[in-house]
Amino acid sequence: MFALISLLALLPSVLSAPIFGLGDDGESSTEATTAFSLADAESTLLRPGQFARIAYCSSQSITTWTCGEPCKALPNVTFLQSGGDQGLIPLYFVAHDADDQSIVVAHEGTDSKNILSILNDAKFGLVDLNVTRFPDTAGKGIKVHSGFQETFERTADGLLAGVMKGLADTGAKKVVVTGHSLGAAVATMTGALIKKSVDPSVEVTVTGFGLPRGGNQAWADFLDSDVGVTFMSNQNDPVPSVPPRFTGFQHSSGEIHITDDTQKNFVACPGQDNENCATGNSLLDVNVSNHKGPYFDDLSFGHSACPDGAT
């Protein structure tokens, strides 16, 4: 009940309309979900999740890869670059993962209270995607959340330079982009930038946890056709359901939904905004704690998940 009350307080402007699922204009999938096992989660989502968790640790502990258990879970990683100030500009880091022969970009997120107030702030509506940066998207009518794009733009150039240098120096043929919450939303934009900038022989994967909606239908379609995002939504976390669809926002496809708190039961959700997954959640069941986790294998996000390195 406490969670519900805080959500109501944070989302006053949407209370006049149904938040979840009803009363929207976009396309929502009603396709049946398909099986997704713990083994599937561990082979595809665990490693990106472990990197996204580290993005919440202090800058200094990331630089030296001494952030305690979260860093110990990922040996053989070489830190390459970081940016942001953990305040206005959330931290990101670039690293080389020798075990996976990849360059990793992980974006820091923010807590559920902050992300919900950002998502509910009327000054952050949909704005045009920066077509100077993404010239191929001109004329497609792509709009994204202005706050996410502003956050992305503050570090995009330096981040991309770091990734290109990392690829050249290590010979890696894969880039893994990941983040939780706000970090997941920025990761989708970073993923789009890296995908169009690297040689086509380089594989780019984008993974998000607790991903809010980041743009309109055209953005969702662009992510599906040109980028490819996989994102995990945990039970009754309200963040994947905002901003609401009736305000023009739409999720891309690629959702993996956690159905209960055993950390073992997941489903893959075909199509965009599948009603059988987070999009179909009821406002009455909201649990804000689900945003930080645990998701599976005790994967939780936030400064408290980085006890040895938190600032």
Ligand X SMILES: *[C@@H]1O[C@H](CO)[C@@H](O)[C@H](O)[C@H]1NC(C)=O
Note if 197 is an active site residue. no
Nearer to ligand X, 85 or 153 (CB): 153
What does the alpha-carbon distance between residue 105 and residue 48 come to, in Å, rounded to a whole number? Answer: 9
Q: Which of residues 7-36 bind ligand X (CB under 6 A)?
A: none
Based on the shown chain and the rule CB under 6 A, indicate whether residue 133 belongs to the binding site for ligand X.
yes
Burial degree of 39 (CB within 10 A; 0-12, 13-18, 19+): exposed
Based on the shown chain and the rule CB under 6 A, indicate whether residue 143 belongs to the binding site for ligand X.
no
Note if 85 is an active site residue. no
Based on the shown chain and the rule CB under 6 A, indicate whether residue 76 belongs to the binding site for ligand X.
yes
Question: Residue 298's CB: how many other CB atoms inside 10 A?
Answer: 10
Based on the shown chain and the rule CB under 6 A, indicate whether residue 98 belongs to the binding site for ligand X.
yes
**Identity of the residue numbered 296:** F
The position carrying tokens 């099986």 is 35
How far does the chain reach from its first CA to its final CA, in angstroms? Answer: 31
Locate all alpha helices (DSSP H) within 120-227, ordered by sequence.
Answer: 146-170, 182-197, 217-222
For the bound state, the minimum distance from the C-beta of residue 101 to ligand X, rounded and expressed in Å, comes to 8
What does the alpha-carbon distance between residue 129 and residue 240 come to, in Å, rounded to a whole number? Answer: 21
- The catalytic position among 61, 82, 112, 181 is 181
x/- track of binding to ligand X for residues 231-270 (CB under 6 A): ----------------------------------------
Beta bridge partners of 139: none
Q: How many residues are recorded in the chain?
A: 311
Question: Residue 296's CB: how many other CB atoms inside 10 A?
Answer: 21
> Of the listed pieces 78-86, 128-136, 209-217, 269-277, which binds ligand X according to CB under 6 A?
128-136
- The catalytic position among 107, 145, 180, 291 is 291
- The catalytic position among 24, 97, 221, 237 is 237
Nearer to ligand X, 27 or 99 (CB): 99
Out of 287, 295, 296, 309, the residue judged to bind ligand X by CB under 6 A: 287
DSSP state of 34: E
Q: Pull the structure tokens for residue 258.
A: 């956690």
> Of the listed pieces 63-71, 223-231, 265-273, 285-293, which binds ligand X according to CB under 6 A?
285-293
Out of 289, 297, 303, 310, the residue judged to bind ligand X by CB under 6 A: 289
Q: Pull the structure tokens for residue 149.
A: 């794009």
For the bound state, the minimum distance from the C-beta of residue 85 to ligand X, rounded and expressed in Å, comes to 18
DSSP state of 111: -
Query: Which H helix or E strand runs over 203?
Result: strand 203-209
> Of the listed pieces 22-30, 53-61, 106-114, 126-134, which binds ligand X according to CB under 6 A?
126-134
Based on the shown chain and the rule CB under 6 A, indicate whether residue 99 belongs to the binding site for ligand X.
yes
For the bound state, the minimum distance from the C-beta of residue 120 to ligand X, rounded and expressed in Å, comes to 21
Note if 291 is an active site residue. yes
Q: Which of residues 292-311 bind ligand X (CB under 6 A)?
A: none
DSSP state of 49: H
What does the alpha-carbon distance between residue 92 and residue 103 come to, in Å, rounded to a whole number? Answer: 13
Based on the shown chain and the rule CB under 6 A, indicate whether residue 138 belongs to the binding site for ligand X.
no
Nearer to ligand X, 21 or 238 (CB): 238
Q: Total binding residues for ligand X by CB under 6 A?
A: 11
Distances (CA, A) of 127 to 6, 13, 256: 28, 19, 28
Question: Residue 260's CB: how many other CB atoms inside 10 A?
Answer: 9
Q: Which residues bind ligand X (CB under 6 A)?
A: 75-76, 98-99, 130, 132-133, 153, 287, 289-290
Catalytically active residues are: 181, 237, 291
